[in-house]
Structure 1
C-alpha cells in the first residue's frame, strides 16, 4: 500500500509549544471499566474472539442496497506499533500499511515534561471510521491511554475522554467513534489491531477548528 497516500491527514506538531495557541484544553482521564466504556464499544481480553462490525456501503439514491451486499471489504489485521522518539509519540500500522517508511506522530509532550516521566501529551488530530469497528489489544500487557469521543461531526474538545488501561485489556470501538492511535506510557508498545479493510477515515484538526491543542493525561491522578 502507498503509505504517503494513506497519511494525508498528518498534522504539524511543531506548534505544540507555541504560546499563540493558548492553554491546551485538558481532557478528563478515567480508569476504563465495562460500565463507563459501554457507549464507545467494549473492553477486550480475548482479541481473537472479537468480531469486527462492518457497516454496509452507503447508498446515495432512492433505491435500497441489495440484501447481504456492501459488506465484502473484509477485515485488515496486523500489529500497530507505537514508540516515543524524543518528545514525540510515533505510530505505525502494519494492518493498513500507513506509517511504514514514514513518520506519523500522534502527539508531543508539553514543554518541560521529562520523556522519562511522561504525565501528559499534546494532540491535535482525531479521526473515525464509518466503514467498521476497530479493535486494539496490547501484546506486551503494558499500561497505556486511549483517547475517545462519541460519534458526531459536531464533536468538541470537551467531548474527548482519556481511558486508562493497566495493560490487561484492550478496546473494541464501534464505527464512528472518534479516536487516535493508542498512547503508550512505556517507551514502546505493540498492539494487535483489526478493523474494516476499506479504512474510510474522517479526521479533524483541533487547532484548525478550535485554535488550541488537546492535553491528554497519561496518569490517573492527572497531575502534570
Structure 2
C-alpha cells in the first residue's frame, strides 16, 4: 500500500517521459464500451458493481468481491500552485492528481506567475469492480482526468 503522504506530497522523479493523451468525447461510438453518457437524473442511473477480477490461481469466495458498494459525493479539482488537487468526498480522499509542469521546472514556473495550460497526470485510479459516474452540477460539458 502506498504511504498516504505520497498522495499529499508525492515524490515525483524528474525526467519522466511525457505522453500526449487525446481528449476523447465519450459520445464517440469508438469508446462506447468504455464510457456512457448519462441522460436524465444521474441519481437514477444504475452504476454496475461486479466482483473483483481474479488473477492467476487466486479465486474469490462466492458472494465476495463486491463489498465496496456504491459511494456518493462530490469530486472536485482545484489548482493550487502548480499542482492539480482532487477532493473525492465519496471516499474522503484528497490527493495530488497532476502537475502543470514537470517537477524540475516547477519553481521557475511558479516564479513566472504562469497559469496552467496542461495537466501532467500523476495519480489515476481504475475501479475494477464497477464504474464511476461523473455528472456536471451545472449541466455543462466537462473533462474527467
Q: Give the structure-1-normalised TM-score.
A: 0.47
Distance 1:39 1:6, change over 3 A: farther
Higher relative contact order (CA 8 A, sep 6+): 1
- When Rg is computed on C-alpha atoms for both structures, the one with the higher figure is 2
Distance 1:88 1:140, change over 3 A: farther
Give the distance between the partners of 2:53 and 2:120, measured in 1 at CA. Answer: 35
1:30 pairs with 2:24: yes
Residue 128 (structure 2) aligned to one of 130, 137, 149:
130
Q: Give the structure-2-normalised TM-score.
A: 0.68
Unmatched 5+ residue regions in structure 1?
147-181, 183-224
Give the distance between the partners of 2:16 and 2:37, measured in 1 at CA. Answer: 35
Unmatched 5+ residue regions in structure 2?
none
Structure 1 or 2: more strand by fraction: 1
Match of 2:76 in 1: 81
Distance 1:86 1:8, change over 3 A: closer
1:108 pairs with 2:99: yes
User: Deviation string for 1:91-141 (max 9, x for gaps)?
Assistant: 111111112xxxx111111255932xx431112332211222111111134
* Superposition CA RMSD, Å: 3.2
Give the distance between the partners of 1:31 and 1:121, measured in 2 at CA. Answer: 18
